[in-house]
Chain A
Amino acid sequence: EVHLVESGGGLVQPGGSLRLSCEATGFIFIDYWMAWVRQAPGKGLEWVANIKPDGSEKFYVDSVKGRFTVSRDTAKNSLYLQMNSLRVEDTALYFCARGPGSGSYYYYFDYWGQGALVTVSS
């Protein structure tokens, strides 16, 4: 059974940094694109970043480019999101999600974690 478990959320001041982790189990991690999707309190879903199975390609929403970095560690079956220069508007629940298998470019998300809450406030 596929499980995605996020960790690393918390309260941080504007301009600060935080690193989210997502541990994946129940599937062959290296075979799938992975993604981060966020949801501000009471708001809708916003895609943040995708990373290719081998980590060679990464895509970001414009609002986080240059500040956030997505990465993955195959040995640890883990996905990461390094968030720097955080802003109040980055406050959200951050979901880890599984994308398509390698060789596919249909970027919908079939499994999601429960999310990690990031609060940016002074």
Chain B
Amino acid sequence: EVVVTQSPATLSVSPGEGATLSCRASQSIIGNLAWYQQKPGQAPRLLIYGTSTRATGIPARFSGSVSGTEFTLTISSLQSEDFAVYYCQQYNKWPLTFGGGTKVEI
């Protein structure tokens, strides 16, 4: 099983600041990684797939990248609606696995 580890567990930022979220896989997943945003009481929403491709309707302030085995979601300037929990998911191997999440809070 590919273990996906997200860090930090919680990130405290102010509106207008940038945020960098990390996701590391226990083995190579090539570029098969997605990011989701989940707000309280809502279903997850797809943000990024294929490491860096934004899903339909996702603002350009969200971007994804990779360096070695570390995948990164960057939010360039946090808006009030961006405070949420973010999950990464690898889809390179079965079973599909999610990271534990990063909560972005004020």
Contact = CB atoms under 8 A, between A and B. Distances in A.
B71 interface: no
Q: For the complex, would chain B's binding face be called helix, strand, loop or mixed by DSSP majority?
A: loop
Interface stretch (A18-26, A41-49, A81-89): A41-49
26 contacts: A44-B87, A44-B98, A45-B38, A45-B44, A45-B98, A46-B98, A47-B96, A47-B98, A60-B95, A95-B43, A106-B32, A106-B91, A107-B91, A107-B96, A108-B34, A109-B36, A109-B44, A109-B89, A110-B46, A110-B49, A110-B56, A111-B46, A112-B44, A112-B45, A114-B42, A115-B43
Greatest chain B CB density within 10 A among A60, A110, A114 is at: A110
Interface of B: 32, 34, 36, 38, 42-46, 49-50, 55-56, 87, 89, 91, 94-101
Given A47-B97, A62-B95, A108 B49 contact: yes
Contacts of B38: 45
A55 interface: no
A113 interface: yes
A41 to B, nearest CB: 12
A50 interface: yes
